[in-house]
Amino acid sequence: DGGLHWIRPLREMCGRIRSVVGVVRRGLEPKLKMEGESLGHALLKIDPDEGDFLRQPERTGDLVATFSCNMASSAVMAHSACPYFRVTGSEGEIVIHGTGLKKNVAGAGGLRLYNHEYPKGKEMFDKDRVGAFFLGFGGLWKEIYDIVLKKDRKRAHETVTRAAEDVRTVLALYRSSKSGMWEDV
């Protein structure tokens, strides 16, 4: 898949999402009996000027990311063959990929580097890692535990505020799907 929970890491790497153009579709996979969308594709204009984010060369236009989420069982899913993220730059490419949702089986996804030294790619993690998709949530649960244990209302509020930005991005995608135009977040 690749829904709302993939917007946050995209924003963490690239910056605030300024506007969105895209489409969403419901009912493409009736056997899933989903209330929501089974397909969404978007282009996201990013504002990287507010922090230490990935940058593109000067005078090359807006930083634009592609976003895709797909629940169709007949399509290649993000946790099998398609990468979660692909970051392409002037010095090479980083591919963050998954190999499945089986958390007790070796092959827990990884990070592949392509550059002048590794034109065919180099895996940066051991292939025998166990944990799959779920490895990414360890830090999240530690953070939640710490917030609750310390009753840290400020950090809890920051977490909710950041989540609201993700939801605003999806709402802009819904508006764009209806209007066919770029919509502000």
Backbone angles phi, psi at 141, to 5 degrees: -65, -35
Averaged pLDDT of the chain: 80
**Whole-prediction pTM:** 0.76
Is the per-residue pLDDT at 144 higher than 70?
Answer: yes
Task: State the pLDDT at residue 101.
Answer: 59
CA–CA distance, 111 with 85 (Å, rounded to integer)? 10
Share of the chain above pLDDT 70, in %: 76
Q: What is the mean pLDDT of residues 169-184?
A: 96
Is the per-residue pLDDT at 64 higher than 80?
Answer: yes
17 forms beta bridges with 46
Is the pLDDT higher at 111 or at 82? 111
Compute the Cα dihedral for 145, 111, 4, 64 and give only its sign.
positive
Q: Tell me how crowded residue 116 is: count the other CB atoms within 10 A of its CB.
A: 7
